[in-house]
Structure 1
Amino acid sequence: MKIFYINKRKLYMIITLLCIIIVFIIFYNVYYKNSEETFKEDVFYKGNTNENIIAFACNVDWGNEYIPEMLSIFEEEEIKITYFVTGKWAEKNKDLLKEIYSHDHEIGNHGYSHENYGELGYEANMEGIKKCHEVLNETLDIECKYFAPPSGSFNDNTIKAAKDLNYDIIMWSIDTIDWRDDSTEDKIINRVLTQAEKSTIVLMHPTEETIKALPTIIKSLKKEGYSIGKVNQIIK
């Protein structure tokens, strides 16, 4: 019977390699867990209130022609929502922005330009959020606290930049997908009403089909016992 011997040098190398592997596994698990917790703490896909309220979030970088009618619908129904606007849009449409704000709607930060923040580094994320913040502050004299990344694109750099600027990141629970050509009035209504529950965030944009769908959505949600409001009303 053969007996295999391992000299001390080889044994030392094997033990060292095993230690490195163990340290790597521990580091990976801790980092992954902490990263996952960071996403949970700093990104809101829905609110945390137990009240029967649903928040409407309207992202604005285009669609000016539909905003006045949208405002009229909300005014008639006595509803105040959150409008997330880009800094570029705000600079070009100051009067319309002021009109939205004059109806007591909440204004949120949608970045300076409509780009994928999930593909950007920390400094670029910081610049985009901060620049929009400054435009909104200068125009409306407000301090925004919610950031909705365009296209829902974000990464760890986005989270860190937002946190450093005292922002919470707002995503959505229900996506109307109203920007897509095949999104009809009926489809938008169905997407909202089949997924509605307390503390959800409904994402929409100023589009023709959204305008058509809103009256039915609002009346149906109210009939089901929900009130409709701003993002700040569902995050405590």
Structure 2
Amino acid sequence: MPKKVWIIRSKTLKLSFVLLLGIFIVISGLMMNSSFLPVFSTSEGPAAFYRADIDEKKVALTFNISWGEDKALPILDILKEKDVTAAFFISGAWAERHPEIVERMLEDGHTLGNHGYRYEHYPRLEEKEVISDLNLSHKKIKDVTEQDVKYFRPPHGDINEDVLKIIDNFGYSVVHWSVGGNDWENPGVDTIVQNITDEVKPGDVILLHASDSAKQTSEALPIIIDNIRGANYSFVDIEELISQAETNMEEVR
């Protein structure tokens, strides 16, 4: 039987105490099954964000990157040519090795987020190891950007209640995704395009990869952008989606 995982879908960044208590009860009950939970930090406590439940045809484009430079630069060129800004979740180790690409991302107006340092599954680490990885990744990214980035995407999208609390204490807002191209599997350009354009809905957060292991993303990207715009969607910053969001809870099986 597939595992049940509770995540929060964005719709107002307001949760009652009772709802939060219920969430944590569910999470606690799933801990033995190593459940995964994306979180979003609100004034009332941890909650999750993976899409905005809105009617306007707006979507946010996001990329994960933790290795290589060959694919990142063509992707940045395409985004600039298409006049699209995105959010790049970068590992601290990658930022340390490629500061010039990070600077290019900022110059082009993209949002940066933390993607950990060692690209480890956080729930498999000891608490002190998670804290160390968060500290190191934050420091390395700040060394390059001179910014305290505020968004976080867990390595592998993997998180549990204990890790949730640690990340929330750091003050990060964690952004997951609602539509992914599975481009890291290199399934073919047409498949990557279809994985996104066939599923996209208003308020979606789209996930692609800019690491060198994703060999077909740069070829699929302009088609994805053109197809989504052709369906009368606009690309907006992740912060704009979050600002329009309300939270509700959804069970994912």
TM-score, normalised relative to structure 2 = 0.75
Does the alignment pair 1:184 with 2:188? yes
Does the alignment pair 1:34 with 2:24? yes
Percent of aligned positions with the same letter in both sequences? 25
1:228–1:63: structure 2 CA closer, same or farther, 3 Å change rule? farther
Task: State how 1:29-178 maps to structure 2 within 5 Å.
Answer: 33-36=23-26, 41-178=46-183
SS in 2 for 1:154: coil
Shift of 1:48: 4.9
Shift of 1:232: 1.6
One-letter amino acid of the structure 2 residue matched with residue 98 of structure 1: E
Equivalence for 2:225: 218
Shift of 1:119: 1.6
Equivalence for 1:26: none
1:129–1:74: structure 2 CA closer, same or farther, 3 Å change rule? same
SS in 2 for 1:114: coil
Equivalence for 1:202: 206
Question: Does the 8 Å contact 1:49/1:235 carry over to 2?
Answer: no
SS in 1 for 2:242: coil
Q: Greater relative contact order (Cα 8 A, min sep 6): structure 1 or 2?
A: 2
SS in 2 for 1:208: coil
Distance in 1 separating the partners of 2:239 and 2:156: 21
Question: Does the 8 Å contact 1:129/1:147 carry over to 2?
Answer: no
Pairs aligned (count): 206
| Higher CA-based Rg | 1
Distance in 1 separating the partners of 2:126 and 2:201: 35
Shift of 1:42: 2.2
One-letter amino acid of the structure 1 residue matched with residue 176 of structure 2: M
Question: Does the 8 Å contact 1:83/1:107 carry over to 2?
Answer: yes
Distance in 2 separating the partners of 1:150 and 1:210: 19
Distance in 2 separating the partners of 1:105 and 1:31: 36
Greater CA drift, 132-141 or 107-116: 132-141
TM-score, normalised relative to structure 1 = 0.80
Q: Which runs of 5+ in 2 are unaligned?
A: 1-19, 28-36, 41-45, 244-253
Deviation per CA, 1:129-152: give whole Å up to 9, x if none: 222111111211112111111111
Greater CA drift, 185-194 or 37-46: 37-46
Deviation per CA, 1:189-232: give whole Å up to 9, x if none: 00001110111111111233111111111011111111113322
Shift of 1:186: 0.4
One-letter amino acid of the structure 2 residue matched with residue 128 of structure 1: D
Distance in 2 separating the partners of 1:121 and 1:47: 33
SS in 2 for 1:65: coil
Shift of 1:107: 0.5
Equivalence for 2:240: 233
Distance in 2 separating the partners of 1:136 and 1:33: 32
Distance in 2 separating the partners of 1:82 and 1:33: 28
